[in-house]
Amino acid sequence: MTHENYRVLVTCPPMLRMMDELRPGFSDLKVELTTPVVTQTLTVEELKVLVPQHDGWIIGDDPATREVFTTGKAGRLRAAVKWGVGVDNVDFAACADLGIPVINTPGMFGNEVADVAMGYVIGLARDTFAIDRGVRAGGWPKPRGISLRGKTCAILGYGDIGRNVATRMAAAGMEVVIYDPGVTPASVAAPARLMQWPGGLESADFLVITCALTPSSHRLVNETSLAGMKRGIRIVNVARGPIIDERALIAALRSGQVRSAALDVFEVEPLPADSPLREFDNCIFGSHNGSNTADAVVRTSEIAMNRLIGFLDGL
């Protein structure tokens, strides 16, 4: 079957930035691609204009709401694929009600995001990013860091990313503690140990957040849980920004309860220019980019496109 009439909207930034390399691989599919400029996400109003003009939509972190899908269904939209793992921005119930098949691409980025998390842990342990800033400014700083061996790393979430983070931390000689209500002790690979949140956080030197954003994990790291953590804990978030209550984190950074944080994600993205987080030189900021390697983007984009075409062919 040919696909000359399939119009596909792509709003996932990593995929968009590699579109020149990806297009030849899609040539046999004979799809017409729309590739808008997207920094992080499009707005609901922008999507309500674009989505109805397309048969398929490869979704990034955009607000894929009931309103957007309803508008799309009234136009040409027939199927969608969420590029990547996280699905907190996609209203699956609306798709079911509207008869729009939708799926994500799970299990794509465990290694890539875990690599970034490991880099952040090392950066916070040894102040490598502060050293870089100091040298660039003409100085020669030599902050005294901490060794990883023998320290305790708490990992919130034990999915694909969390398991890969645990493997890396254990390889560095760290004690690893897992928090995930969806797993059993038998499913946690030794030497990691499963505990119930927030028990044991008073002994953790690092907290690495890798869980999905759900109603139960929303602002799970908050004033209460932060107060129960070991003073001087270092926090890494490579999951979703709203898992952390940023106002509580800012207060904990100011008081020294949290020594430093490495945040690849934020409650509002991009990080607002007036965010108080910007005042902390002891923090490392990312751009929601943990999964973005050329290898992973090509692999995931091909799977996303093939799944979307499979949906459209089957309708």
List CB contacts of 146: < 8 A, sequence separation 6 or more.
125, 126, 205
Does 192 share its domain with 307? Answer: no
> Above 50 in pLDDT, residue 2?
no
Does 103 share its domain with 148? Answer: no
Do residues 291 and 113 lie in contact, with contact meaning Cβ atoms separated by under 8 Å? yes
Does 173 share its domain with 116? Answer: yes
- Range of the structural domain that residue 36 is part of: 7-108+293-314
Does 147 share its domain with 273? Answer: yes
Question: Tens digit of pLDDT for each residue in 206-229?
Answer: 999 999 999 999 999 999 999 999
Question: Tens digit of pLDDT for each residue in 87-135?
Answer: 999 999 999 999 999 999 999 999 999 999 999 999 999 999 999 999 9
Does 32 share its domain with 171? Answer: no
Does 138 share its domain with 167? Answer: yes
Number of domains composing the chain: 2
86 token code pair: 């996280």
Q: What local confidence, expressed as pLDDT, does residue 1 receive?
A: 43
Is the dihedral angle over the CA atoms 158, 40, 234, 284 positive or is it negative? positive
> Above 90 in pLDDT, residue 5?
no
Q: What local confidence, expressed as pLDDT, does residue 4 receive?
A: 58
> Catalytic residues, which ones?
240, 269, 288
170 or 1, higher pLDDT: 170
Report the half-sphere exposure of 54 (CA within 13 A, side-chain side): 27
- H helix count then E strand count, the chain: 11, 12
CATH number of the domain to which 85 belongs: 3.40.50.720
Rounded to whole angstroms, how far apart are CA atoms 257 and 255? 6
Q: Averaged over 230-239, what is the pLDDT? A: 98
Q: Please list the helix, strand and coil fractions of the chain in percent, rounded to the nearest 5, in that order.
A: 40, 15, 45
In the predicted model, what is the mean pLDDT of the chain? Answer: 96
> Above 70 in pLDDT, residue 39?
yes
- 119 in a domain, yes or no? yes
Does 263 share its domain with 153? Answer: yes
Q: Work out the pLDDT band at 28, boundaries 50, 70, 90.
A: confident
